């Protein structure tokens, strides 16, 4: 991963002597660890990476993942794996990092306890935040990263196609979420990329709702927001349906959200600030009778995490889109107490515009009860 290490240092100003990443225990694992070291499995709890400006990478890990790390390092000559026993990490860090070095840390992911450990290991070092450089590097994807996201998106799209056939009167939100996750795993996912959102009826108007035992009934709108995880890379897809008795307003809401997404896609291309893409979608919704019911940013970066890297599509994002960025495009309208609609797709920015990674149909669909 020499090119990735070098890319991180290019995005850092001032430049540190080394960049050091330290994992705690799950879930406090730094996603940048797996950006710099493309290792397919393992948690790497308590492991440390030391990245150098020449692209070399030292990985310090214990017996639980050392074999996995060694195997991955065979395909990357810029990586040196150091197998350590209990209590040996500190001495090796002191050996690999000069005592007076300027050390870049990922403040966004490093725990306070981890920071305290590093100050004890390297008492003369100067610590600076390398998080911005790491996030900028992750924001634009290599072709191999896009292909993994594409694979995850293909799994999510297959499952989205099947959701209508899963719907049954009286089933619970949790039951539908479980079936969706099972189907993703059957299709080759390594797991879900985030906690699956399934909302029936009024719950579909809560964008970050957590499913419960609520049962599906005729007349309910349904929002399903979910994603597959494939070889550490995520997809994120949302599809909305209507179950049973028709509802003219919810059909119109769905059509408005579709139009908002199309308006955003029409301006999506390299060089356009993220806030302009958001504004295009928001303008469509605010011109309708549901003005103000679009309550979140239009999209976010996607990759090793569901919210990955810097940038995105939101009112406060001035940064222009770049070729290789993968973002979600997800307008929504939410009617409190009644229901909501969100349509979300994953796209990669290309030289001429964008390419869909998610492929499931987006149109309004009424499912018979």
Structural domains present in the chain: 2-139 (3.40.350.10), 143-367 (3.90.230.10)
pLDDT given for residue 32 in this prediction: 97
What parts of the chain have a pLDDT lower than 70?
none
Cα-flanking dihedrals φ and ψ of residue 212, to 5°?
A: -140, -155
Token couple for 38 = 């493309």
Cα-flanking dihedrals φ and ψ of residue 227, to 5°?
A: -160, 150
pLDDT given for residue 268 in this prediction: 98
- Which is nearest to 346 in space by CA: 333, 356, 336, 338? 356
pLDDT given for residue 239 in this prediction: 98
pLDDT given for residue 76 in this prediction: 79
pLDDT given for residue 155 in this prediction: 98
The separation between CA 318 and the C-alpha centre of its own chain, rounded to angstroms, equals: 20
Q: Over the range 202-232, which residues count as b (16 or more CB within 10 Å of their CB) and which as e?
A: bbbbebebebeebebeeebbbbbbbbbbbbb
- Which is nearest to 330 in space by CA: 344, 318, 317? 344
Beta partners for residue 325, in sequence order: 140
């Amino acid at each position: 991963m020499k090119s990735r290490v070098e890319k991180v240092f290019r995005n850092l100003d001032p430049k540190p002597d080394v960049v050091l990443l330290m994992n705690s225990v799950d879930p406090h694992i730094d996603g940048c660890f797996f950006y710099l070291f493309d290792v397919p499995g393992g948690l790497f709890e308590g492991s440390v990476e030391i990245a150098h400006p020449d692209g070399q990478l030292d990985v310090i890990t214990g017996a639980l993942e050392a074999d996995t790390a060694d195997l991955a390092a065979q395909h990357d000559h810029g990586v040196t794996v150091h197998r350590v026993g209990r209590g040996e990490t500190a001495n090796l860090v002191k050996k690999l990092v000069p005592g007076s070095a300027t050390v870049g840390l990922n403040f966004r992911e490093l725990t306070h306890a981890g920071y305290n450990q590093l100050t004890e290991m390297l008492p003369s070092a100067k610590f600076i935040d390398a998080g911005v450089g790491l996030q900028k590097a992750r924001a634009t994807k290599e072709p191999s990263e896009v292909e993994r996201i594409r694979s995850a998106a293909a799994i999510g799209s297959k499952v989205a196609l099947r959701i209508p056939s899963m719907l049954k009167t009286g089933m619970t939100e949790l039951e539908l979420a479980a079936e969706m996750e099972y189907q993703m795993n059957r299709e080759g996912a390594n797991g879900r990329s985030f906690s699956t959102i399934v909302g029936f009826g009024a719950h579909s108007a809560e964008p970050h709702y957590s499913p419960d035992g609520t049962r599906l009934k005729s007349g309910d709108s349904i929002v399903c927001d979910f994603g597959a995880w494939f070889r550490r890379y995520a997809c994120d897809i949302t599809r909305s349906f209507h179950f049973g008795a028709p509802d003219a307003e919810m059909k119109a809401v769905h059509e408005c959200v579709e139009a908002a997404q199309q308006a955003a896609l029409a301006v999506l291309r390299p060089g356009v600030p993220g806030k302009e893409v958001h504004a295009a979608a928001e303008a469509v919704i605010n011109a309708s009778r549901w003005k103000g019911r679009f309550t979140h940013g239009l999209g976010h970066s996607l990759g090793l995490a569901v919210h990955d890297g810097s940038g995105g599509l939101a009112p406060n994002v001035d940064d222009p889109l770049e070729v290789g960025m993968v973002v979600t495009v997800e307008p929504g309208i939410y009617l409190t107490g009644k229901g909501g609609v969100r349509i979300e797709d994953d796209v990669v920015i290309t030289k001429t515009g964008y390419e869909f990674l998610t492929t499931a149909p987006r149109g309004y669909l009424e499912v018979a009860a």
